[in-house]
Amino acid sequence: MKVKKGDTILVISGKDRGRKGKVLEALPQENRILVEGLNLRKKHVKPKRQGEKGQVVQLPGPIFSSAVKIICPKCGKPARVGYKIEDLPAGRQGKNKYRICKQCKQEI
């Protein structure tokens, strides 16, 4: 899954199409994400103490990660995400893998 917590995204399909938001949580096993202020669900909460009133709370519901595009922080446009793999400097083993914007080729 190419979307991570903290990314700014644009919804490209569904009832919230065209809206932007920040990813609150990524659920990679389900291929879904929770986005701040989008796909809101109502939850009825009972009073916890005597004398307190019950209330209706709005919480974000999960949406499919394939229904969103990441907004590139460098160019500010909705972008497809690719990966770039580089070898570590001499003397160290392994590789660095990071996400890039397919349009401007900058690291996300």
Instruction: Tell whether 24 and 59 lie within a shared domain.
Output: yes
Instruction: Tell whether 65 and 12 lie within a shared domain.
Output: yes
Backbone phi, then psi, for 47, in 5-degree steps? Answer: -65, 140
pLDDT of residue 90: 79
pLDDT digits (tens, 9 = 90+) for 72-92: 999 999 999 999 999 888 778
Q: What is the number of domains present in the chain?
A: 2
Burial class (CB in 10 A: 0-12, 13-18, 19+), 7: buried
Whether the Cβ atoms of residue 29 and residue 1 lie closer than 8 Å to each other:
no
Domain carrying residue 29: 1-71
The residues near 66 (Cβ < 8 Å, ≥ 6 apart) are: 31
Cα–Cα distances in Å, from 35 out to 89, 99, 103? Answer: 37, 20, 24
pLDDT digits (tens, 9 = 90+) for 30-54: 999 999 999 999 999 999 999 999 9
Instruction: Tell whether 8 and 37 lie within a shared domain.
Output: yes
pTM of the model: 0.83
